[in-house]
Structure 1
Amino acid sequence: MTLTQLEIFALVAEMQGFTAAAVRLGISQSGVSHAVRELERELGVELLQRRQGRAEPTDIGLQTLERVRSILGLAEAMRQEAADARGLRRGTLRIGSFGPTSSLRLLPLLLAGYRHEHPGIEVYVDEGPDELALQWLQARRVDIAFAALPDARFATCPLVEDQMVAVLPAGHALAARERVALADLCAEPFALTGAGSGEMVSRLFLAERLRPDVRYRCGQLLSTLETVARGDAVSVVAELSLPSRRCADGYVTRPLQPEVRRQVGLAMLDEERASPAARAFMAMAARLRREGGLAQAQPGA
């Protein structure tokens, strides 16, 4: 069993295909298939099911994949610790990001500073809903993830704070109010976004034992805003997720009553076992926050 075999298996499982993994690695498909077969032969189990051009992990393959990611994470940490002794000149960093709040407002500012300080580190970004980003972190698919804080499961670094707001069609009766209660929104058709803070919105209604009349489930925030602007529904989103320049004049926002605040930051599994590249990113983010370098990411900026 070699690290190369483990890396190939993990990549095939992630991309669900031998061809895609071969293209990513720059080697032949037969080489990828041979590495996986040898690993399966040594372990004596089938790790991947091949069907209809896809490769999906078996039950034991999923368990093995979790172990493999831990091993590869430790190996990468060892490489980076050696690189750290040489000035952190090489290494990789994988970041889990969600929605416009992190991907459009926070991440560009953080990456600009990080690439300036550590140009030799290769950074990969996976984007999905907030809960999925944390699942990637727990599965060690990413080294760091953006998260709504606090979260006692992880080592965290708070970055910015905003609030949840109701999004209403311009001219809607509720738009005349300074603040809007969740209960008032339950009488209207509701658009639930699947991006960014969608999970948090669902939990807010559940905590109040309320059930919004969800007529639209939008995969993207812009689709949610467009649905509201047409007058088809109302919604609730995080203020920081809204476009810095309004893409439409057909909607307005109002704070919730009572106010619901949200803190966004970075999370990692274990600071002591994290790679030097991940620790350096967290340290740089904390420094930027202290020095006011994230001010332009705040609401209204």
Structure 2
Amino acid sequence: MTLTQLEIFALVAEMQGFTAAAARLGISQSGVSHAVRELERELGVELLRRQQGRAELTDIGRQLLPRASGMLGLAEAMRQEAADARGLRRGTLRIGSFGPTSSMRLLPGLLARYREQYPGIEVHIDEGTDSQVLQWLLERRVDVGFAVLPEPRFASCPLVEDQMVAVLPAGHALAGRPNLTLGELCGEPFALTGAGSAELVTRLFQAARLQPNIRYRCGQLLSTLETVARGEAVTVVAELSLPLRPYVTGYVSKPLHPAVLRQVGLVMLDEEQASPAARAFLQMAGRLRREGGLEGMLAERGRLD
């Protein structure tokens, strides 16, 4: 069993195809297939099922993939430990990001500062929902991720705090109110977005023993806002997730009463076992927060947008 075989297995599983994995790696498809076959032969099990041009994990393949990812992560950490001794000139940082709060507000400024300090580090970014980011961390697909805190399973670094807001059509009867309760929203058609803080919104209603009248489930925030702007529904989102630039108009946002705060930060499985590149990113973000640099960075993003 070699690290190359494990890397190819993990990439084929991620891209769900031998051809796509071969193109990413810059090698032949037969080379990719041979590596996977040799790994399966050594383990004595079928890891990937080939059908209709796609590759799907078998049950045992799905069980062993996190093990392979963990071994690859440890190997990368060893490489980066060596690079750290040379001044962290090389390495890879894999970041999981969710929603506009992290992908559009926080990440651009953090990456700009990180690249200034560590220009040789290669950065990979995966974007998904908040729950997907946490799963990627557990699978070691990413080294560090943005999350809604607290997350007791992970080492964390708080970054920003905002509030949850109700979003209504501009002409709605409740649009003139200074704030709104969750109960007042239950009588309206509700749009639940799958992005960002969907799980937090669901927990808010459950904690209040309320049931929103969910008529729409939207995969992205902008499609949710468009649904609201058309007058078809109301929703609840985090204030920092709302776009500063008016991609969608025709809606207004109102704070919830009582106020509901949300804290967003960075999380990783174990800071002591993390790669030097990941630790450096977490520590840099923590310094920025302590020194007040994050507020200036968010204000700068507001001016740019």
Question: When the two structures are superposed, what TM-score results if normalisation uses the length of structure 1?
Answer: 0.98
Inter-partner Cα distance in structure 1 for 2:257 and 2:220: 25
Aligned counterpart, 1:297: 298
Answer yes or no: is the 8 Å Cα contact 1:240–1:299 preserved in 2: no
Aligned counterpart, 1:242: 242
Aligned counterpart, 2:277: 277
Deviation at 1:249, TM superposition (A): 3.4
Any unmatched runs of 5+ in structure 1? none
Inter-partner Cα distance in structure 1 for 2:195 and 2:233: 17
SS of structure 2 residue aligned to 1:201:
helix
Inter-partner Cα distance in structure 1 for 2:245 and 2:36: 49
Inter-partner Cα distance in structure 2 for 1:215 and 1:254: 21
Any unmatched runs of 5+ in structure 2? none
Inter-partner Cα distance in structure 1 for 2:156 and 2:299: 19
Deviation at 1:89, TM superposition (A): 0.8
Structure 1 ranges of 4+ moved more than 3 A: 298-301
Aligned counterpart, 1:178: 178
SS of structure 1 residue aligned to 2:257:
coil
Deviation at 1:248, TM superposition (A): 3.5
Aligned counterpart, 2:17: 17
Deviation at 1:247, TM superposition (A): 2.9
The change in CA–CA distance for 1:299 and 1:133 in structure 2 (over 3 A counts) is: farther
Q: CA RMSD in A?
A: 1.3
Answer yes or no: is the 8 Å Cα contact 1:159–1:285 preserved in 2: yes
Aligned length: 301
Answer yes or no: is the 8 Å Cα contact 1:130–1:196 preserved in 2: yes
Inter-partner Cα distance in structure 1 for 2:205 and 2:276: 40
The change in CA–CA distance for 1:175 and 1:278 in structure 2 (over 3 A counts) is: same
Deviation at 1:209, TM superposition (A): 1.5
Deviation at 1:171, TM superposition (A): 2.1
Aligned counterpart, 1:216: 216
Question: CA-to-partner distance for each residue in 1:65-89, whole Å, 9 max, x for gaps?
Answer: 1111111110000000000000111
Aligned counterpart, 2:232: 232
User: What is the one-letter code of the residue matched to 1:265?
Assistant: G
User: What is the one-letter code of the residue matched to 1:253?
Assistant: S
Deviation at 1:175, TM superposition (A): 1.4
Deviation at 1:299, TM superposition (A): 12
Aligned counterpart, 2:140: 140
Aligned counterpart, 1:66: 66
Question: CA-to-partner distance for each residue in 1:128-178, whole Å, 9 max, x for gaps?
Answer: 110111011111110001000111110000000000000011121111211
The change in CA–CA distance for 1:33 and 1:107 in structure 2 (over 3 A counts) is: same
Inter-partner Cα distance in structure 2 for 1:176 and 1:24: 53
Answer yes or no: is the 8 Å Cα contact 1:12–1:55 preserved in 2: yes
Inter-partner Cα distance in structure 1 for 2:299 and 2:209: 31
SS of structure 2 residue aligned to 1:97:
strand
User: What is the one-letter code of the residue matched to 1:90?
Assistant: R
SS of structure 2 residue aligned to 1:146:
strand
Percentage identity across paired residues of the two chains: 76
Inter-partner Cα distance in structure 1 for 2:300 and 2:206: 26
